[in-house]
Structure 1
Amino acid sequence: MVDRLIYRTPQPFDVQRLFTIYSDPKTNLFNPAGPMTDLVSAQDLLGRWIEHWDKHLYGVWAIARSDAPEHVIGFGGISLHDYLTEQCVNLGYRFAVEAWGRGYATQLGRDALTYAFEQLYLSEVYGLVRPDHMASIRVLEKIGMQPYGQLDDVPGKSPSLVFKALRGTST
């Protein structure tokens, strides 16, 4: 079977597509910070992703379908994320609305865990999700991540759910 998705390191020219996806209110329904509001924020985020790649040799990918490699449909992968007082390797993703409902998040999740465990030899990967984001909870469960705990990371809101995958136990 041919892979449906292509992953690549994000590049400066991805800034407009990143802004388009991250500024869409629909892709931010469960993001306590809300949609991205300006191109400068997109440039800052993209710069942090590129720095992460330069420093750690892994990070968030730009994601495209294999039949349309020039059109980015989302961003996701694994990267270091602050879980309040400690850094953990976190699985995260955001897809354009046009890509929803096609199993891309599940495929990305499986591919990112495979990469984390088989290429980078990491021992664990976490996933942070808002408790009312049922679609993402289902994705994390489908790829073999297990509930691990909660993180009180959004003042005045319910704690986020933390999922965890260990090398040798995810699907």
Structure 2
Amino acid sequence: MPQDPAPWPAHETARLLLRAPQAADLAALHEIQSDPVSNRFHPGGLLETQDQAAELLQAWQAHWQVQGFGYWAIALLERPGELLGFGGLMNKPVAGRQALSLYFRFRPQAWGQGYAAEMAQAALRLAFGPLQAPAVLAVVQAANTPSRKTLERVGLRLKGSLADVPGQPADLLYEITAGHHATLPQLPPQATPFGA
């Protein structure tokens, strides 16, 4: 069973509570990562068992312990006990280099309301503020139009393609640099229809 990391300060946006994942989030993580609808664009496939979800949760918590940040558990401010999804930044190998990678996955009920963009804006403020990162990358399947629109809405630009999963079509690689982020107006996020 995953152990909770040391308590980390939660972060709040206009609508969302963003906090480090906890052992109590295991059931929600398994539900979201094993849902074929939530994962229809995930080339790695579904997490079939709760043990697989526990391993994933432990990896995320270990990143928090070492790096001091990582993927957030995401809930509405007024319903902090009901997780909408997970997302944020992790330091990981992407396209042959170590980089901050932006990720999000939400329950289908949370799609189309701008939550992914709102979380992503908070993640980019973290990346280019306290973390002083030169750039943030994101990897997405070409067919995942809603997520691509969300990335573009918060300022990421298509950089190229990435054959990162054997036997699967190449993914698309998006990037935003600190310099480009500094030029963007900090507008409230807009919803992306039919997607997180």
TM range (shorter): over 0.9
- The one-letter code sitting in structure 2 at the alignment partner of 1:64 is A
Unaligned runs of 5+ in 2: 1-12, 185-196
What does residue range 1-171 of structure 1 map to in structure 2 within 5 Å? 3-83=14-94, 85-170=96-181, 171=184
CA displacement 1:129-165 (0-9 Å, x = unmatched)? 0011000110110000111111111223321110101
Find the residue that maps to 2:166 and give its secondary structure: coil
Kindly, what percent of the aligned residue pairs are identical?
35
Deviation at 1:84, TM superposition (A): 5.3
Task: State whether residues 44 and 165 of structure 2, in contact with CA within 8 Å, keep that contact through their aligned partners in structure 1.
Answer: no
Tell me, in whole angstroms, the C-alpha distance in 2 between the residues paired with 1:69 and 1:83.
32
How many residue pairs get matched? 170
Q: CA RMSD in A?
A: 1.2
- The one-letter code sitting in structure 2 at the alignment partner of 1:26 is V
The two structures have a TM-score, normalised by structure 1, of 0.95
Tell me, in whole angstroms, the C-alpha distance in 1 between the residues paired with 2:96 and 2:14.
37
- The one-letter code sitting in structure 2 at the alignment partner of 1:76 is G
Deviation at 1:81, TM superposition (A): 2.6
The two structures have a TM-score, normalised by structure 2, of 0.83
Unaligned runs of 5+ in 1: none
Deviation at 1:35, TM superposition (A): 1.6
CA displacement 1:5-42 (0-9 Å, x = unmatched)? 01000111110110011110001101112221000011
Q: Which structure carries more helix by proportion?
A: 1
- The one-letter code sitting in structure 2 at the alignment partner of 1:137 is R
Task: State whether residues 94 and 101 of structure 2, in contact with CA within 8 Å, keep that contact through their aligned partners in structure 1.
Answer: no
Find the residue that maps to 2:127 and give its secondary structure: helix
